Structure 1
Amino acid sequence: MFTEAIEEILRDQAGPDAIRASEASGIGSARPAVWSALEDAGFLELLAPEDDGGAALALAALAPIFTAFGRHALPVPAAQSIAARALLRDTGVRPPAGMITLAGNCLRMADGSLCAPRVPFGLTSDYVLANVDGELQLLDAGEAQRNATGVRGSASATLTWKRGAVSAPLAGEGAGEGVRRFSAAIHAAAIAGAMDRVFGMTLQYCNDRSQFGKSIGKFQAVQHQLSVMAQHVASAGIAAELAFSGAGRVPARLATAIAKARTSMAVPLVASTAHALHGAIGITEEYDLQLYTRRLHEWRMADGSETYWNEIVGEALLAQPQATVTDFARAALAV
């Protein structure tokens, strides 16, 4: 029910034109209409208890919603804000109004300042809920120095807070790990959604584009590339669901690692194949494909690429020397 209602808002107010408008805006610009629509409908409180005006959804119910956000390349940190509000409530802190994003790895410098590299929506968010050496910290983005990544159209930025702008931690050692997991799981779902969109666009183009009297989708070589794309898109979707399959309030570490590793691993192949089959039109600014493939490459690196998360999966496997890989996979899927 929630997914369908949110999808309707996304179709109406998060189309390619809205994405382009958000890319052209800067810090302090007007909020995209889709943010107000989601906020006014109460969809930022999906994890909040019912007696606090929320929907009290289980973690698993978020997977299709966050995947839909990725499918539409949502230009606001709705997924991050939903997670941040839940994490803040667990500490007894009432979430502030405005956009809240997540920083899964915030570094404490020798002079007491904090640096959060490549924060998603770091240019546009009002607050950052950060993992600072395992501690949970809520930071005012307006008091930070924001340095854009330099990637065209990206809202990500490296944020730096001077020592005087750093507040006390909300929770102690280990509490910040939930931010890292949630952020990685959100990006895994976003990748799965965006790849589904890219595959749909590619399949449609191959069916519409004709060469030698028939659609190029009828050629065996093209069909082979489409089938490989389809396999990776399907696997990514399953992996993203795994990240949100646990019974806890925060994505499990191993499930998140598998999800982020698998989805990130699929990005280079899916994106490159989509552009290869589209030909020159796929890289033009006027064509929508680049709106999604650019984000796929950015989300692949966010919170660590497949190399980082595969190392976590490998360590978990090696910690069970008596288990076969099949047994390990079954146990991971049963989380």
Structure 2
Amino acid sequence: MFTEAIEAILANQCTPGAIRAIENGGTTAALWGALADNGFLELMASEAAGGAGLDLEAIFPIFVAFGRHAVPVPAAQSIAARALLRDAAAPKGMVTLAAHVRREADGSLSAAHVAFGGIADHALADVDGALVLLDCAKAERTATGVRGSQAASLHWAPGSVPAPIGDNGHALAVFSAALHAAAIAGAMERMFAMTLGYCNDRVQFGKAIGKFQAVQHQLSVMAEHVACAGVAAELAFKGGEKVPALLAAATAKARTSASVSLVASTAHALHGAIGVTEEFDLQLYSRRLHEWRMADGSEAYWNRIVGEAVLGHAAPSVLQFVMEEIL
């Protein structure tokens, strides 16, 4: 029910034209207002706090939909923030997640390449294991310099750092990685659908290019990676839980990130010259895929976490480890 309602809003408010306008500095009011005013930011808040109390399994299709529509506001992060804040009240406005914050010698805080750091009103941050809610208006923002990216590096002076509001800061990086895994899966779905449609419509030498065996082979490999990414992302969203488990989220982020390069490059290659143009919508998704691949650490970072867990586990096989610790 919630997924269908949000899909309808995104189809109306999150068009390619709207995405481009926001990327170019336009207002987020219409899109953000449609999500916030309908209560969708409270989906993971408890029923006692006026939310829907959804668990990870129920929220997963919505996070995938955000990726499929290339949503240019921190909607997923703001929803996750409600779960991480527990009983604390969420602030008004756009909330992003800053999972990797460094405390400087003078007491100031620095966070590099924060998703939506360029437009967010607040950042829920992990500061030495504590959960801290930071005001982005008080931060010095440095854009990444990447075309269309809304990520930014943030720096807060010592006087603008409030007291912690929770002790579950370490859960923030895990949740953020799971969000990006779901977003990658959704964006890959959209890119594959666009590519398949183009190959069925584009005619060369008297027939659709999708009929050529070489093109079919590339589409088949692409489809395998898209399907694998969807299954992997779902691992992090286990029913009944409010926050993803470390190893499940690590596996999800590692597997989805590893598929980004192949899926994006294949999509652009099969689209030919039109695929590299700014006017064509494909780049709205491929740019985000590459950014989300690196967000919270690439597959190399998360593979190391999973690998160390496997080596330190007493299971007689990797399959047994997966069954006991991830599934």
TM-score, normalised with respect to structure 1: 0.95
Q: In structure 2, what is the Cα distance between the partners aligned to 1:102 and 1:306? A: 19
Q: In structure 2, what is the Cα distance between the partners aligned to 1:32 and 1:275? A: 32
Does residue 156 (structure 1) correspond to residue 154 (structure 2)? The answer is: no
Partner of 2:82 in structure 1?
Answer: 85
Partner of 1:54 in structure 2?
Answer: 51
- Partner secondary structure for residue 130 of structure 1: strand
Give the alignment of 1:252-331 within 5 angstroms.
252-331=245-324
Point out the more displaced range, 122-131 or 42-51.
42-51
Partner of 1:239 in structure 2?
Answer: 232
Distance change in 2, residues 1:53/1:322 (3 Å): closer
Q: In structure 2, what is the Cα distance between the partners aligned to 1:154 and 1:18? A: 15
Q: Which blocks of at least 5 consecutive residues in structure 2 are unaligned?
A: none
Partner of 1:113 in structure 2?
Answer: 108
Q: In structure 1, what is the Cα distance between the partners aligned to 2:239 and 2:3? A: 19
Q: In structure 2, what is the Cα distance between the partners aligned to 1:250 and 1:301? A: 21
- Partner secondary structure for residue 126 of structure 2: strand
2:118 to 99, 114, 123: 123
Contact preservation (8 Å) 2:23, 2:149: yes
2:201 to 187, 197, 208: 208
Deviation at 1:131, TM superposition (A): 0.7
Moved over 3 A (4+): none
1:81 maps to amino acid: S
Contact preservation (8 Å) 2:184, 2:292: yes
Partner of 1:7 in structure 2?
Answer: 7
Give the alignment of 1:132-171 within 5 angstroms.
132-171=127-166
Contact preservation (8 Å) 2:58, 2:239: no
Q: In structure 1, what is the Cα distance between the partners aligned to 2:67 and 2:325? A: 25
Distance change in 2, residues 1:133/1:222 (3 Å): same
- Partner secondary structure for residue 56 of structure 1: coil
Q: In structure 1, what is the Cα distance between the partners aligned to 2:262 and 2:304? A: 21
Contact preservation (8 Å) 1:246, 1:252: no
Q: After superposition, what is the alpha-carbon deviation per residue over 1:58-113, rounded to whole angstroms, capped at 9, x for unaligned? A: 1111111000000000011010001112212x2x3211110000011111011110
Identity in percent: 65
Q: In structure 2, what is the Cα distance between the partners aligned to 1:313 and 1:161? A: 33
Partner of 1:184 in structure 2?
Answer: 177
Deviation at 1:321, TM superposition (A): 4.3
Contact preservation (8 Å) 2:178, 2:253: yes
Equivalent residue pairs, number:
327
Give the alignment of 1:31-42 within 5 angstroms.
31-42=28-39
TM-score, normalised with respect to structure 2: 0.98
Contact preservation (8 Å) 2:68, 2:187: yes
Deviation at 1:299, TM superposition (A): 0.2
Distance change in 2, residues 1:252/1:47 (3 Å): same
